[in-house]
């Protein structure tokens, strides 16, 4: 299918400043696997983005996606992509272990970045990446986008207005039986924390504020897995994790995630409506219905209105795969998204601290932070 007509290219030196709303940001996507169909579909609805280039190391994969979506250029490695069709925004949909090095190379080449999670493997590497991006006058953002949903906004406003009274605690959980299409989910620098826990950790820190310290237990429940096209692999990163966070003022939260949670629906099922996040205060409690990446509503009970009331349940267009489109919109119009790279790096530090806590049996203090409130 043909894409929209070419428009004036976005000059790299100007691109981090707002430009006129009719500018189209040229997008290059690396990684044409499972998640790429979701991104292609969303980017097609974005008036500020045009996908001009695709890249995948697996022979035929980028070409197949290119013909399906009418993208004219496709490549099999990043260097060829950078030397080929010019583009402004690099969308990184490779496996988790590859994000950091690919993001760095694309920043060096003067590209803005939208990266699937995590944007870097360590806080230190992530900080250096942000410094490099600033020196190159380019922007970087990373998944997840959960703070963009209307349900997050409702919960953040309820807290800001003191609806729950003195805030005390929150719990969140997300799990399924684990993907079987790629080994990277289970090997070094993969695991259930950066694939699953990252959503709840981003949502809860976005609501409750940065964590000051972390205590965690992690384990490997299924030591071997069968991966399509690869065969049996050894699982070397946690597939079961429980993380405790200490926030300001004695507020505590808890995230449970894993690749061994029975789930009667497919892992990507957006229809389920049960509660996955609970936030409690002394005079109220609220519960998120649905996943934070696919939310439906918020049920709230307070001392003045004890019966649970369903709120924030209007139809909405938030979907988890909106990040690349929002990055393009920001580059084109100057409209800033709520997700920030500093928040993403705080979550990277939490996940590393959780592993350190498991290894040492100790609480781990954190050094990173990010700007709050996300919702005024």
Ligand X SMILES: NC(=O)c1ccc[n+]([C@@H]2O[C@H](COP(=O)([O-])OP(=O)(O)OC[C@H]3O[C@@H](n4cnc5c(N)ncnc54)[C@H](O)[C@@H]3O)[C@@H](O)[C@H]2O)c1
**Which residues form the interface with ligand X (CB under 6 A)?**
30-35, 55-58, 61, 77-78, 93-96, 98, 102, 116, 181-182, 195, 268
- Dist CA 141 CA 40 (whole Å): 18
In the complex, what is the shortest distance from the CB of residue 242 to ligand X, in angstroms, rounded to a whole number? 20
User: Which residue's Cβ has the minimum distance to ligand X?
Assistant: 33
Which residue, 6 or 60, is less far from ligand X as judged by CB?
Answer: 60
In the complex with ligand X, the residue whose CB is nearer, 179 or 284, is 179
Residue 15 Cβ vs ligand X, minimum distance, rounded to whole Å: 24
Q: Which is nearer to ligand X, 116 or 299 (CB)?
A: 116
| Spatial distance between the Cα atoms of 222 and 178, rounded to a whole number of angstroms | 10
Among residues 101 and 260, whose Cβ is nearest to ligand X?
101
Judged by beta carbon, residue 152 or residue 199, the one nearer ligand X is 199
Distances (CA, A) of 10 to 25, 89, 138, 209: 7, 10, 12, 35
Q: How far is the CB of 376 from ligand X (least distance, A)?
A: 29
Q: How far is the CB of 270 from ligand X (least distance, A)?
A: 11
Query: Cα(66)–Cα(60) distance, rounded to whole angstroms?
Result: 10
Closest contact distance (angstroms) between CB of 349 and ligand X is 18
Alpha helices in the chain (DSSP H): 36-44, 61-69, 78-83, 99-108, 123-135, 150-160, 192, 198-208, 323-333, 341-360
Nearest-approach distance from CB 58 to ligand X, in angstroms: 4
Angstrom distance (rounded) from CA 325 to CA 39:
8
Q: How many Å apart are CA 111 and CA 365, to the nearest integer? A: 34
Q: Which of 142, 143, 86 is nearest to 109 (CA)?
A: 86
Minimal distance in Å, beta carbon 99 to ligand X? 7
Parallel/antiparallel/unpaired status of strands 112-115 and 140-142: parallel
Q: Are 121 and 237 spatial neighbours (Cβ–Cβ below 8 Å)?
A: no
Nearest distance from residue 340's CB to ligand X, in Å? Answer: 19
Asked if residue 22 lies in contact with residue 10, where contact means CB atoms within 8 angstroms, the answer is no
Would you list the DSSP string of 78-147? HHHHHHSS--SEEEE-S-GGGHHHHHHHHHHTT-EEEEPSPS-SSHHHHHHHHHHHHHTT--EEES--GG
Instruction: Pick the closer one to ligand X by CB: 98 or 111.
Output: 98
Closer of 77 and 249 to ligand X (Cβ): 77
Compare residues 167 and 241 and give the one whose CB is closer to ligand X: 241
């Amino acid at each position: 299918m043909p894409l929209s007509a070419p428009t004036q290219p976005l000059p790299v030196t100007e691109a981090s400043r707002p430009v006129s709303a009719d500018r189209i940001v040229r997008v290059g996507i690396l990684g044409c696997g499972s998640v790429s169909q979701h991104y292609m579909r969303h980017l097609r609805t974005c008036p500020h983005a045009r996908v001009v280039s695709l890249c995948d190391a697996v022979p035929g994969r980028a070409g197949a996606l290119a013909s399906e979506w009418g993208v004219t250029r496709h490549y099999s490695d990043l260097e060829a992509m950078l030397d080929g069709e010019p583009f402004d925004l690099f969308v990184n949909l490779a496996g988790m272990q590859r994000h950091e090095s690919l993001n760095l190379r694309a920043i060096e080449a003067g590209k803005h970045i939208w990266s699937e999670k995590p944007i870097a493997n360590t806080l230190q590497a992530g900080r250096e990446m942000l410094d490099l991006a600033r020196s190159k006058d380019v922007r970087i953002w990373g998944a997840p986008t959960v703070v963009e949903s209307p349900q997050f906004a409702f919960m953040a406003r309820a807290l800001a207005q003191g609806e729950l009274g003195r805030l005390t605690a929150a719990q969140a959980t997300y799990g399924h039986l684990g993907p079987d299409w790629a080994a990277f989910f289970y090997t070094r620098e993969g695991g259930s924390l950066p694939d699953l826990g990252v959503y709840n950790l981003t949502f809860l820190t976005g609501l409750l504020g940065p964590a000051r310290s972390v205590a965690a237990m992690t384990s490997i429940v299924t030591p071997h897995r069968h991966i399509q096209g690869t065969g049996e692999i050894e699982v070397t990163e946690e597939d079961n994790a429980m993380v405790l966070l200490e926030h300001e003022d004695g507020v505590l939260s808890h995230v449970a995630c894993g690749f061994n949670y029975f789930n009667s629906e497919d892992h990507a099922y957006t229809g389920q409506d049960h509660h996955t996040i609970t936030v409690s205060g002394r005079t109220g409690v609220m519960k998120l219905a649905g996943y934070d990446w696919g939310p439906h509503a918020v049920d709230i009970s307070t001392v003045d209105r004890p019966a649970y009331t369903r709120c924030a349940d209007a139809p909405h267009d938030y979907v988890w795969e909106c990040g690349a489109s929002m990055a393009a919109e920001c580059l084109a119009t100057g409209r800033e998204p709520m997700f920030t790279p500093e928040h993403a790096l705080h979550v990277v530090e939490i996940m590393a601290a959780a592993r350190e806590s498991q290894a040492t049996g100790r609480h781990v203090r954190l050094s990173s932070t990010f700007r709050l409130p996300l919702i005024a």
